[in-house]
A and B are shown apart, each in its own frame.
Chain A
């Protein structure tokens, strides 16, 4: 386990992964990867193409099983057989094309499967107004302005849709969100908004987020910590505040190997 001097409160990490190994046939996608994510962390998971970032995310979210290694959620060992199990436990990958009901309203998507109802025996009537107000409040809390929560989600921009999905996830007790290249399909303006949103959620609201991005500049803007993978190995880890962009780029490309220099 890596020492963490910046953590003063004796809170357990929200997510701890220990000695994760994974291979696909002859390809060793992950070799002995370990790190922790605490409340208030936005962890940037960096690395070149094929470094193993997505594989790691998919192991955490229950898509793949690790060959070796352990995952702890709030200090409890967990092992997910499917994304549904991981989601149930409060871990979810939020990506650009996360499925939403495009023809249904923002409110309907926000409350999907959790609708507020008047409990009549047999027929449950929706409390539409209460749901609208709660959606408006939740979206305002995370700093997203959506024209109208009555509008259908299909008319929202990519960034707004992402905001809705993220906001919904944390509103309903999500513990940690995994974002795999959330800016990939966004224009510059939308990406800016999305950055602000993730920063707000991660730093002000202290919601743990793991963020994969190829854009090191973005990572430096909003992440608090970073992990660099190279050919499946962890070649760097630390606080964003402690490093320079060039150093991290060097780790990604292989010019520096932090563990070697230790």
Chain B
């Protein structure tokens, strides 16, 4: 078979794989990254139908607005993959934002400590980790459902921040905090670079490390994991602490963006993060999910928000569309699960 092209020779050398098998692999890959194709499709449709949509400035904006929900969604995704739930992330992010503002604020409404912005970041990360450990203790040691534990946290933590600031917000933060929100690298906002960096790091973490693998296995079958000697409690501690720390980071980034923190900062983000996770293909059954999909979900939500405001539609349309996308995503996922076995 000397007339074979180099490519098919390589394919034959692989063993049983035929060209047809290769095509199946491509199809499988497409199905596994469906959200990215939906996102691409939506961007193309919007570019064609809204004048002035297809420009770097708009895309940059979309990415910039995806940063906050995007970071928060990583923690939520990890929790849901491990078959737990973290409803406290939004409030922890709010608490972290207010703490950041209070610690680094330069005005009379702040603490007057004028803490260095990076030290403030360490403070809110530690705070997130402690809150995560607190959630984990209740879930692991006291066997309370994470839904209930973190629902309590959702109610509690933002209010806690307001106790500190006596119910009002803080504005005008130290320059090194604000700088993070305003810097651009080759016309790409630093925040967006950070977002991509964090996603790549966590993608490697969950797919290439033992701890990451255990998150999936524990979410898939507690019994099989227990039988295999995986320390489930330890995995869940890690999961909740990471989720708390990512929420802390989100809060810090929010404070940087708004150069301060109003009492309601980040309100409603829990549902957006949850939507990004679900649209991204993470299953509430546990053990299934891909962080790349979650990033696409976050960008998709931000795209919709941008389009709605560009079109001058009233903002309540946004939730109609978001809800619609959740349904579409879940239905598509069910379809993919049915087709996939035929593509083996």
Contact partner of A117 among B210, B287, B340, CB < 8 A? B210
Are the CB atoms of A112 and B217 closer together than 8 Å?
yes
A253 at the B interface (CB under 8 A): no
Are the CB atoms of B225 and A101 closer together than 8 Å?
yes
Are the CB atoms of A126 and B344 closer together than 8 Å?
no
A-B contact number at CB 8 A: 64
Are the CB atoms of B228 and A104 closer together than 8 Å?
no
Are the CB atoms of A108 and B227 closer together than 8 Å?
no
Are the CB atoms of B227 and A87 closer together than 8 Å?
yes
Which residue of A is nearest B224, CB measured?
A: A99
Interface centre among B211, B213, B226, B287 (most CB of A within 10 A): B213
Shortest CB-to-CB span from B188 to chain A, Å, is: 28
B252 at the A interface (CB under 8 A): no
The answer to whether residues A108 and B217 also contact, given A103-B287, A113-B229, A123-B209 and a CB cut-off of 8 A, is: yes
Q: In the complex, what distance in Å separates the CA atom of A99 from the CA atom of B230?
A: 14
Interface string of B177-209 (1 = CB under 8 A from A): 000000000000000000000000000010011
Shortest CB-to-CB span from B294 to chain A, Å, is: 16
Contact partner of B211 among A108, A113, A124, CB < 8 A? A124
Are the CB atoms of A109 and B224 closer together than 8 Å?
yes
A218 at the B interface (CB under 8 A): no
Interface size on B, residues (CB 8 A): 23
Residues of A within 8 A of B228 (CB): 112-114
Interface centre among A100, A103, A114, A125 (most CB of B within 10 A): A103
Interface size on A, residues (CB 8 A): 24
Question: Mostly helix, strand, loop or mixed at chain A's interface?
Answer: loop
Which residue of A is nearest B204, CB measured?
A: A125
Contact partner of B287 among A104, A126, A151, CB < 8 A? A104
The answer to whether residues A126 and B221 also contact, given A87-B227, A155-B341 and a CB cut-off of 8 A, is: no
Residues of A within 8 A of B227 (CB): 84, 87, 99
Shortest CB-to-CB span from A129 to chain B, Å, is: 12
Question: Mostly helix, strand, loop or mixed at chain B's interface?
Answer: helix
Are the CB atoms of B221 and A100 closer together than 8 Å?
yes
Interface centre among B209, B229, B340 (most CB of A within 10 A): B209
Are the CB atoms of B208 and A101 closer together than 8 Å?
no
A102 at the B interface (CB under 8 A): yes
Shortest CB-to-CB span from A145 to chain B, Å, is: 11
B216 at the A interface (CB under 8 A): yes
Q: In the complex, what distance in Å separates the CA atom of A100 from the CA atom of B217?
A: 9
Q: In the complex, what distance in Å separates the CA atom of A127 from the CA atom of B91?
A: 38
Contact partner of A99 among B205, B223, B341, CB < 8 A? B223
B109 at the A interface (CB under 8 A): no
Are the CB atoms of A125 and B216 closer together than 8 Å?
no
Contact partner of A126 among B210, B225, B230, B341, CB < 8 A? B210
A25 at the B interface (CB under 8 A): no
A147 at the B interface (CB under 8 A): yes
Shortest CB-to-CB span from A194 to chain B, Å, is: 20
A115 at the B interface (CB under 8 A): yes
Shortest CB-to-CB span from A139 to chain B, Å, is: 15
Are the CB atoms of A101 and B344 closer together than 8 Å?
no
Q: In the complex, what distance in Å separates the CA atom of A44 from the CA atom of B229?
A: 30
Which residue of B is nearest A148, CB measured?
A: B344
The answer to whether residues A101 and B217 also contact, given A109-B224, A151-B344 and a CB cut-off of 8 A, is: yes
The answer to whether residues A126 and B208 also contact, given A112-B230, A113-B229 and a CB cut-off of 8 A, is: yes
Residues of B within 8 A of A113 (CB): 225, 228-230
| A/B interface sample: 18 pairs, CB < 8 A | A84-B226, A99-B223, A99-B227, A101-B221, A101-B225, A102-B287, A104-B216, A104-B220, A108-B217, A112-B225, A113-B230, A114-B228, A115-B210, A123-B209, A124-B210, A128-B208, A147-B344, A155-B344
Which 8 A-B pairs have CB atoms at the shortest separation, nearest pair first?
A: A113-B228, A101-B220, A99-B223, A99-B224, A112-B228, A124-B210, A103-B287, A113-B229
* B-to-A contact residues, CB < 8 Å: 205, 208-211, 213, 216-217, 220-221, 223-230, 287-288, 340-341, 344
